[in-house]
Amino acid sequence: MNRRQFLSSSGAAALALGSRVDASAPTSSANSNRVLMKLGCQSAPTNDVHLKYLARYGVRDICGYPETSEGHIASTLDELSRMRELAESNGINVLCVGPPVLESSFIDREKHPAIMLAKSPERDRDIEQIQILIRNCARVGLPSIKYNMSILGVLRTGRVQGRGDAMYSQWKLSEAHPKTPLTIAGHVDADMFWERITYFLDRVIPVANEYKIRMACHPQDPGVPPEGYQGVDRVLGTVDGLKKFITIQESAYHGLNFCQGTVSEMLADPGKEIYDVIRYFGSREKIFNVHFRNIRGHRNDFVEVYPDEGDVDMWKAIQVYKEVGYPYMLMPDHVPVAPHDPDGLQSFAYCYGYIRGLIQAVRAG
């Protein structure tokens, strides 16, 4: 689709912004003729100032971050309710919760590392807190929780010049030099990593089933060679790893916080391969959120760019999400920064408009 066609389609669809789904349960791809996906965001904090910023740019659905008492993992019913009520007072729905554990953070800086370190009995205590959070989210009407199973966090080698004065984040494996040979986790090969993942899922997903809360896991960003990086084999850094992950528990509430950018980073030719990956997980109803971002490059060598200038055809991608009946949020992520926009708020606003326009256009189509 060229620019003239895109603008024409998005203009024709300007009034077609309504459809909502029951957020409490997965939605069948049998509804694929309807466009149910929606513009969302997972940026923090979830306070009144930031919520008004989101509302200003038409963001009506978000992943929220509740206040959580110091040292705790499970937000209380009151803490979750306050977050939801504050969002709703700004016309915003909280469709996902980000807890203060299992974030995309480097293990040496993680406040709650026991689950990923396989450290008992602490990991059982932390998993019990996740179970409590699931129950509390269900009672407050918050349908999803996102999480990571990461030791290395998000690996990057620096920033490079983008268009205008924007700076783009880069990963170039050939130029990567970790500060230490190992993290506090030591050597974690594939078997060890899968044990930790399975231990967690076996204890958490049955509770998610009972309370009908979608558990959305983010891929590891980026993938590294099988021999590992800083002693860690990132098993969720390949498409095959993600395919294995979704089969560990057979559940409609076990799936992915599908970062299209991260998955593109796994591929030799993302501009050709990403669409079939979306189809694979989308047709199985395993995509619970989408980080709708673009890259230029390929596995082991890429930069994160604005959505309209990368190697992935975002119009083609959103048509595939429509094809598989994807019903949840499309969110910007890892946006470029600039000297007068250090927090990326202008870049986020640009992405909101881009995503909203694509959704309008695909509805009109």
Predicted structure pTM score: 0.90
CA distance 263 to 246: 15
Range in 6-10, 155-159, 213-217 with the lowest mean pLDDT = 6-10
Q: At what angle do helices 314-323 and 270-283 cross, to 10 degrees?
A: 20
Percent of the chain with pLDDT over 90: 88
pLDDT tens for 276-332 read 999 999 999 999 999 999 999 999 999 999 999 999 999 999 999 999 999 999 999
Beta-bridge partners for 330: 39, 290
Q: What is the pLDDT confidence band of residue 34, given thresholds at 50, 70 and 90?
A: confident
Residue 253 has pLDDT above 50, yes or no: yes
pLDDT at 4 over 60: no
| Beta-carbon contacts of residue 228 (< 8 Å; ≥ 6 apart) | 187, 188, 189, 234
Cross-strand pairs, 172: 301
DSSP string for 255-287: EEEEEHHHHHHT-S-HHHHHHHHHHHHHHTT-E
Give the separation between CA 157 and CA 143, rounded to whole angstroms. Answer: 36
In the chain, domain spans? 32-364
Q: What is the mean pLDDT of residues 334-338?
A: 97
Determine contact, residues 205/217, Cβ cutoff 8 Å: no
Burial class (CB in 10 A: 0-12, 13-18, 19+), 162: buried
The model's pLDDT over 82-105, given as tens digits with 9 standing for 90+, comes to 999 999 999 999 999 999 999 999
Check residue 220 and report its DSSP letter.
P
pLDDT, one tens digit per residue, over 42-92 is 999 999 999 999 999 999 999 999 999 988 999 999 999 999 999 999 999
Distance between CA 154 and CA 231 in Å, rounded?
15
pLDDT digits (tens, 9 = 90+) for 153-207: 999 999 999 999 999 999 999 999 999 999 999 999 999 999 999 999 999 999 9
What is the rounded average pLDDT of the residues 220-248? 96
Residues 6 or more apart whose Cβ sits within 8 Å of residue 151: 106, 107, 116, 183, 185, 188, 232, 234
Quote the pLDDT of residue 15. 31
Q: Write the DSSP assignment of 142-182 as a string of letters.
A: --EEEEE--SB-S---EEEE-STT-EEEEEEGGG---SSSS
Architecture of the domain whose range is 32-364: Alpha-Beta Barrel (3.20)
**Does 27 score more than 60 pLDDT?**
no
pLDDT of residue 71: 84
- The pLDDT assigned to 32 comes to 44
What is the residue whose two structure tokens read 């076990």? 254
Q: How far apart, in whole angstroms, are the C-alpha atoms of residue 121 and residue 150?
A: 20
How deeply is 269 buried, as exposed, middle or buried, from its count of CB atoms within 10 A (0-12, 13-18, 19+)? exposed
The average confidence (pLDDT) of the chain is 92
Residue 28 has pLDDT above 80, yes or no: no
